[in-house]
Amino acid sequence: MERSNRLSSYPLLRFPFLLFLLLSSSAALTAATSENANKGASFSAAEAEAAVSRFQEYLRINTSQPDPDYATAVRFLRAQADALSLESDVFEFAPGKPLLLLRWPGRIPSLHALLLNSHTDVVPAEPLKWVYPPFSAALDPSTGNIYARGSQDMKCVGLQYLEALRRLRAADFAPDRTIYLSFVPDEEIGGNDGAGRFAASEKFQKMKVGVVLDEGLASPGEEYRVFYGERSPWWLVIRARGAPGHGAKLYDGSAMENLMKSVEAVRRFRAAQFDLVKAGVKAEGEVVSVNLVYLKAGTPSPTGFVMNLQPSEAEVGLDIRVPPNADTEALERRIAEEWAPSSRNMTFEFKHKVSVHDLFGKPAITAADNSNPWWMLLEEAMKKANGKLSKPEIFPASTDSRFFRERGIPAFGFSPMANTPILLHGHNEFLNKDEYLKGIEIYESIIKAFASYKGDTKDEESRAEL
Ligand SMILES: [Zn+2]
Query: Residue 4: is its pLDDT beyond 60?
Result: no
Query: Residue 25: is its pLDDT beyond 80?
Result: no
Query: Residue 32: is its pLDDT beyond 60?
Result: no
Q: How far apart are CA 306 and CA 127, in angstroms?
A: 40
pLDDT in tens, 140-171: 999 999 999 999 999 999 999 999 999 999 99
State the average pLDDT over residues 42-64.
Answer: 97
Among 3.40.630.10, 3.40.1710.10, 3.40.50.2000, 3.40.50.1100, name the CATH number for the domain at 45-226+368-465.
3.40.630.10
Out of 2, 67, 87, 121, pick the active-site residue.
121
Q: How far apart are CA 157 and CA 52, in angstroms?
A: 13
Residues marked as binding? 119, 153, 188, 215, 425
State the average pLDDT over residues 273-292.
Answer: 96
Question: What does the chain come to in residues?
Answer: 466
Sheet of strand 232-241: strand arrangement:
289-297, 313-322, 232-241, 346-353
pLDDT at 23: 42
The model carries a pTM of 0.84
Out of 163, 187, 193, 406, pick the active-site residue.
187
Residue 236: which H helix or E strand, with range? strand 232-241
Q: How far apart are CA 188 and CA 149, in angstroms?
A: 13
Query: Residue 278: is its pLDDT beyond 70?
Result: yes
Query: Residue 340: is its pLDDT beyond 50?
Result: yes
The pLDDT-based confidence of 456 (bands split at 50, 70, 90) is: low
Query: Residue 339: is its pLDDT beyond 70?
Result: yes
Instruction: Identify whether the C-beta of residue 15 lies closer than 8 Å to the C-beta of residue 4.
Output: no
**Three-class secondary structure of residue 328 per DSSP:** helix
Query: Residue 244: is its pLDDT beyond 70?
Result: yes
> What residue ranges do the domains of the chain occupy?
45-226+368-465, 231-353
| CA 122 to centroid of ligand 1, rounded, Å | 7
pLDDT at 93: 97
| CA 186 to centroid of ligand 1, rounded, Å | 10
What are the two backbone dihedrals, phi and then psi, of residue 314, each rounded to the nearest 5 degrees? -155, 145
187 catalytic per annotation: yes
Query: Residue 121: is its pLDDT beyond 70?
Result: yes
For the chain, give the percent of residues with pLDDT over 70: 89
The pLDDT-based confidence of 39 (bands split at 50, 70, 90) is: low
Q: How far apart are CA 59 and CA 57, in angstroms?
A: 5
**Which residues does 294 contact at the CB level (< 8 Å), separation at least 6?**
316, 317
Query: Residue 255: is its pLDDT beyond 90?
Result: yes
What are the two backbone dihedrals, phi and then psi, of residue 39, each rounded to the nearest 5 degrees? -100, 115
| CA 157 to centroid of ligand 1, rounded, Å | 10
pLDDT at 8: 38
The pLDDT-based confidence of 276 (bands split at 50, 70, 90) is: very high
**Three-class secondary structure of residue 254 per DSSP:** coil
The pLDDT-based confidence of 447 (bands split at 50, 70, 90) is: very high
Q: What is the DSSP letter of 311?
A: -
pLDDT in tens, 322-332: 999 999 999 99
Residues marked as binding for Zn(2+)? 119, 153, 188, 215, 425
pLDDT in tens, 181-237: 999 999 999 999 999 999 999 999 999 999 999 999 999 999 999 999 999 999 999
Instruction: Identify whether the C-beta of residue 350 lies closer than 8 Å to the C-beta of residue 236.
Output: yes
**Three-class secondary structure of residue 259 per DSSP:** helix
DSSP count for the chain of H helices, then E strands:
13, 19
Q: How far apart are CA 197 and CA 360, in angstroms?
A: 19
What are the two backbone dihedrals, phi and then psi, of residue 443, each rounded to the nearest 5 degrees? -65, -35
pLDDT at 138: 98
pLDDT at 320: 98
| CA 145 to centroid of ligand 1, rounded, Å | 19
pLDDT at 405: 97
State the average pLDDT over residues 409-426.
Answer: 95
- State the alpha helices, DSSP H only, in 41-104: 45-59, 70-83
Query: Residue 377: is its pLDDT beyond 60?
Result: yes
Residue 454: which H helix or E strand, with range? none
Structural class in CATH, domain 231-353: alpha beta
Cα distances (angstroms) measured from residue 264 to each of 271, 276, 277: 10, 19, 20
Q: Is 353 exposed, middle or buried (0-12, 13-18, 19+ CB in 10 A)?
A: middle
Neighbours of 195 (CB within 10 A): 29
Query: Residue 42: is its pLDDT beyond 60?
Result: yes
| CA 203 to centroid of ligand 1, rounded, Å | 23
User: Strands, E, within 242-344: which ranges?
Assistant: 245-246, 289-297, 300-301, 304-305, 309-310, 313-322
222 catalytic per annotation: no
Averaged pLDDT of the chain: 91
For the chain, give the percent of residues with pLDDT over 90: 87
Q: Which residues pair with 139 in a beta bridge?
A: 146
pLDDT in tens, 378-417: 999 999 999 999 999 999 889 999 999 999 999 999 999 9
| CA 388 to centroid of ligand 1, rounded, Å | 22
Q: How far apart are CA 57 and CA 437, in angstroms?
A: 16
